[in-house]
Structure 1
Amino acid sequence: MSIKFLAEDDRPREKFLLKGKNSLSDSELLAIIMGSGSRDETAVELARKILASVDNNWNHLSLLSVKDLMKFKGVGEVKAISIATALEIGRRRMSQEIPEKPVITSSKDAYHILRNHLSDLRTEEFWALFLNQSNRVIHMAQMTQGGINQSLVDVRVLFKTALDHFSTGMIIAHNHPSGNLKPSKEDIDITKKVKEAGNALSIQLLDHLIITQRAYISFADEGLL
């Protein structure tokens, strides 16, 4: 259905989904926060009126109290709290530093990130680090949780996760609760499958770590990739 045929209160949400958040005007963003308008005005019209009262400035809007916001017809306590909450989230975000994403320069870097998740487990788990072009970790995920001696991964799910995060490289890892660092045939086979799939999708498999309670082995360091 075309956006123009939707009720006006629904249009900003549909526009968000179809064109992205950057396509929305300030009044459309505020309309989504409020959710609905009044009997006489749509959410977008009400949002325009509220923003106009503060010279269309979010900083000025953040100075209004819940009682101030409730003076606008169609803004009850719930809507006023929703607006104030959204603005407070924005204020807190601006006050926080963006956490630095760790850079992987060696297998030891990857091991230091993954060991806390894998070294002390009694069953096998399969994890992955997803990296950008600068080898910075942009996402980390547990892919599977297996039994005592086996944790297989669905390669399709693995690469869907990589694509969802726009990764250009990945490091996979799993643990051996037995303490044996020697790669099994299954370990070697899954490494080969992941590498081949990565080559087809231009997502490079940089390493595969096997982690035990006391140590690890790197496929890249051992020339097994």
Structure 2
Amino acid sequence: MTVDKQLMMKELPETERPREKMLAKGAKALSNAELLAILLRTGTKNMPVNRLAEQLLVKYELSGLGSISPQELSKTAGIGLVKAVTVVAAIELGCRLSRKEPAERPVIRNPRDAADLMMPELRYQTKEHFVALLLSTKNHVIARAIISVGSLNASIVHPRELFREAISYSAASVVLVHNHPSGDPTPSREDIALTKQLVEAGTVLNISVLDHVIIGDGKYVSFKEKGII
């Protein structure tokens, strides 16, 4: 750390320096900006690290940092590639922790169960992710299979791709889940048409499509609850 950067950090009272504050009060006592400042470690000649962290959060928001690449983040003044990689890696670890399944496989009893399971993973995605929850005869989640990433349409999400996964895991049924990056989970005509196609294919194969849940920003829509399937 250079002398200038050391001085900028020392301008803060010791109790307000992020590392000292975490040691004294624990990680939960820190703001998002303070946690980010610890990852960044240093600021620039004209900007202390806390201010740099605050500016990053204003520019990208916390959710945006979860989808940005290290190369893009490193374009910000004061953020080199090493710092960018550190930030992206830390946020990815947090995302993986939030998606970690308990030792016992989750059970999908209703649309809320499916939404709660997939909301942390899909809520902030900037592209549409189409996921199949593959279920046992007792509705335990055997696996989560990503069927496609990108704009949702019949050419990308084909029945053979979905049911190949279901058959490979010997799934008794499936729940379809995908996100709307706009945050609005209202089904489109394409969503409805595709779902009906997949339901029909499942009937032929004797693998039931129990529901299709669309994830928005903190909310969801269930085709089963809406009477669409």
Q: Shift of residue 213 of structure 1?
A: 1.4
Deviates more, 1:198-207 or 1:174-183: 174-183
User: 2:148, 2:157 within 8 Å by CA — same for their partners in 1?
Assistant: yes
Separation of aligned partners in 2, 1:209 and 1:194: 14
1:107 to 111, 114, 121: 111
1:182 to 176, 179, 186: 186
Secondary structure of the corresponding residue to residue 183 of structure 2: coil
Separation of aligned partners in 2, 1:144 and 1:213: 20
> Does structure 1 residue 130 correspond to structure 2 residue 120?
no
Secondary structure of the corresponding residue to residue 167 of structure 1: coil
1:173 to 174, 177, 183: 177
Q: Shift of residue 180 of structure 1?
A: 2.2
- CA separation of 1:104 and 1:178: change in aligned 2, threshold 3 A: same
Separation of aligned partners in 2, 1:180 and 1:215: 8
> Does structure 1 residue 209 correspond to structure 2 residue 213?
yes
Separation of aligned partners in 2, 1:190 and 1:179: 20
Q: Shift of residue 191 of structure 1?
A: 0.6
Separation of aligned partners in 1, 2:185 and 2:123: 12
Q: Shift of residue 172 of structure 1?
A: 0.5
Could you list the runs of 5+ residues in structure 2 that have no partner in the other structure? 1-101
Q: Shift of residue 182 of structure 1?
A: 1.8
The answer for the alignment partner of 1:155 in structure 2 is 159
The answer for the alignment partner of 2:125 in structure 1 is 121
Aligned length: 126
Secondary structure of the corresponding residue to residue 171 of structure 1: strand
Secondary structure of the corresponding residue to residue 220 of structure 1: coil
1:224 to 221, 225, 228: 228
CA RMSD of aligned residues (A): 1.5
TM-score normalised over the length of structure 1:
0.54
Equivalences for residues 1-225 of structure 1 within 5 A: 99-147=103-151, 150=152, 152-225=156-229
Q: Which of the pair has more CA radius of gyration?
A: 1
Instruction: Give the letter aligned to residue 194 of structure 1.
Output: L
Q: Shift of residue 113 of structure 1?
A: 1.0
The share of aligned pairs that are identical, in percent, is: 39
Deviations 1:45-67 (A, max 9, x none): xxxxxxxxxxxxxxxxxxxxxxx
Separation of aligned partners in 2, 1:174 and 1:101: 21
Separation of aligned partners in 2, 1:156 and 1:211: 23
Q: Shift of residue 115 of structure 1?
A: 0.9
User: 2:123, 2:179 within 8 Å by CA — same for their partners in 1?
Assistant: yes
Deviations 1:82-117 (A, max 9, x none): xxxxxxxxxxxxxxxx93111111111111111122
User: 2:119, 2:218 within 8 Å by CA — same for their partners in 1?
Assistant: no
Instruction: Give the letter aligned to residue 189 of structure 2.
Output: K
Instruction: Give the letter aligned to residue 117 of structure 2.
Output: I
Deviations 1:203-224 (A, max 9, x none): 0001101111120000011111
